[in-house]
Amino acid sequence: MKKTAYLAIFLAVVCGVCGVALAGVNAITAPIIEAMNSVTLADGSYSGSANGFGGPVNVSFTVSGGVITELEISGDSETPSIGGAAIPELQAAILEAGTIEGVDTIGGATLTSNGVFNAIRSALDGGAGSAPVENEPVESEAAQPDESETESTVETIDMTSVGDGSYSGSAAGFGGDVTVSFDVTGGVVSNFAVVGDGETPEIGGAAAESIAEAINTQQDLNFDAVSGATVTSGAIRDAIDAALQGGNGVETPVSDETDGQPIALSDGSYSGSANGFGGEVSVSFDVTDGTVSNMVISAESETPELGGAAAESIADAINASGSLDFDAVSGSTVTSTAIESAINAALGQGE
């Protein structure tokens, strides 16, 4: 009986000592753990920038009482319906949390979301006060988790509508600008080159080499995106589009003369269509006593400020001159060529 009592007393003492020890350890470590788990932002005004999907994402914000209280985000280069739509959601989520910690990326707009987070981190690193040191993840193009922010549709380029000449254009890639240059002769592509020094060498860089080789081999500007380098592949396509819109291809203007001799235009109403830069371009016009009138060009699928503006300019020029002779509009060579083809198609089937 006595042995049992002694054992109980001994165990009680041991438990008491252990309890006191644990309480002491907790008292010492709890503040340290709390400090490690909490991120305190230095009060002040900050601004920063980082790459999003289509270009730079800019932020400006105010930290008061250790939390973000005001925040403005701009990303004019992001896809309006995807990255652009995600920005207000991110803004609201960050303001509600008072920090970017624990705020999730927006589904379908991962690149824009990470651009916002990285811009805020960049601002804190270089802003007033001492910003916390964070283990910032290294972004790898091969591991982009969400590719739905790439364009949902890719138009096939009609090589018959591309005028002869030398072209060059640029677009934002994964790590910086991607620039392409190439020549076109009779619808055949040659000397295609890609420069993208900011791309990850073994991923985007390798993809650029592969795409350039494919284009030079097939002599056509249409290509398949390289798996694991979707951003670089999309940038090359965008750069090609920019080159075609602003290229210096040598255009042969539409003319109502052949070998210096005027074409006899029969009276009547004409209509025709051809593939432009973004889709079908249609024309309709009347001819009376050899004079052209009522020229209407429909180019809803063309870039409004480029091909769309060119279509209006060409229609005005034709209606003013009464002739089908017009000069291609600089910066809209593909649309200009499509209008030429549509007119030729119309003349071949006039009413």
Q: What is the pTM of this model?
A: 0.37
DSSP letter for 32, please. Answer: H
DSSP 66-85: TEEEEEEEE-TTS-IIIIIH
Share of the chain above pLDDT 90, in %: 26
With respect to residue 214, please indicate whether it lies within any of the assigned structural domains: yes
With respect to residue 232, please indicate whether it lies within any of the assigned structural domains: yes
320 and 267 in a single domain? The answer is yes
With respect to residue 109, please indicate whether it lies within any of the assigned structural domains: yes
d(CA 325, CA 340): 9
276 and 315 in a single domain? The answer is yes
- Encode pLDDT of 259-277 as tens digits: 444 556 888 999 999 887 7
CB 273 within 8 A of CB 285: no
Residue of 156, 182, 154 whose CA lies nearest to 169: 182
114 and 135 in a single domain? The answer is yes
138 and 53 in a single domain? The answer is yes
With respect to residue 290, please indicate whether it lies within any of the assigned structural domains: yes
69 and 50 in a single domain? The answer is yes
- How many domains does the chain divide into? 4
Confidence at residue 327, expressed as pLDDT on a 0 to 100 scale: 84
242 and 299 in a single domain? The answer is no
70 and 94 in a single domain? The answer is yes
Share of the chain above pLDDT 70, in %: 74
How far, in Å, are 39, 189, 224, 275, 346 from residue 331 at the CA level?
51, 19, 26, 17, 25
DSSP 212-262: HHHHHHHTSS--PPPTT-HHHHHHHHHHHHHHHHH---B-----SEETTEE
Q: Domain ends where: 225, 246, 267?
A: 246
Classify burial at 198, counting beta carbons within 10 Å of its beta carbon; exposed 0-12, middle 13-18, buried 19 or more.
Answer: middle
9 and 62 in a single domain? The answer is no
Q: 167: domain CATH number? A: 3.30.390
pLDDT score of 127 more than 50: no
Beta bridge partners of 70: 62
Q: Domain ends where: 87, 114, 143?
A: 143
Q: Is 186 left (phi over 0), alpha (psi -120 to 50) or beta?
A: left
277 and 340 in a single domain? The answer is yes
Average of per-residue pLDDT across 280-300: 92
Average of per-residue pLDDT across 29-47: 65
25 and 66 in a single domain? The answer is no
Q: Domain ends where: 119, 143, 167?
A: 143
Q: What angle do CA 141, 147, 151 make, to 5 degrees?
A: 115
With respect to residue 150, please indicate whether it lies within any of the assigned structural domains: no
18 and 54 in a single domain? The answer is no
273 and 315 in a single domain? The answer is yes
pLDDT score of 139 more than 50: no
CB 237 within 8 A of CB 178: no
Q: 117: domain CATH number? A: 3.90.1010.20
Confidence at residue 264, expressed as pLDDT on a 0 to 100 scale: 66
With respect to residue 151, please indicate whether it lies within any of the assigned structural domains: no
- Encode pLDDT of 76-94 as tens digits: 888 887 888 889 999 999 9
How far, in Å, are 54, 156, 222 from residue 238 at the CA level?
10, 13, 12
What residues make up the domain containing 207?
159-246
With respect to residue 49, please indicate whether it lies within any of the assigned structural domains: yes
Could you count the other beta carbons within 10 Å of the beta carbon of residue 51? 22
pLDDT score of 251 more than 50: no
DSSP letter for 160, please. Answer: G
With respect to residue 300, please indicate whether it lies within any of the assigned structural domains: yes
Confidence at residue 294, expressed as pLDDT on a 0 to 100 scale: 95
pLDDT score of 337 more than 70: yes
d(CA 288, CA 276): 28
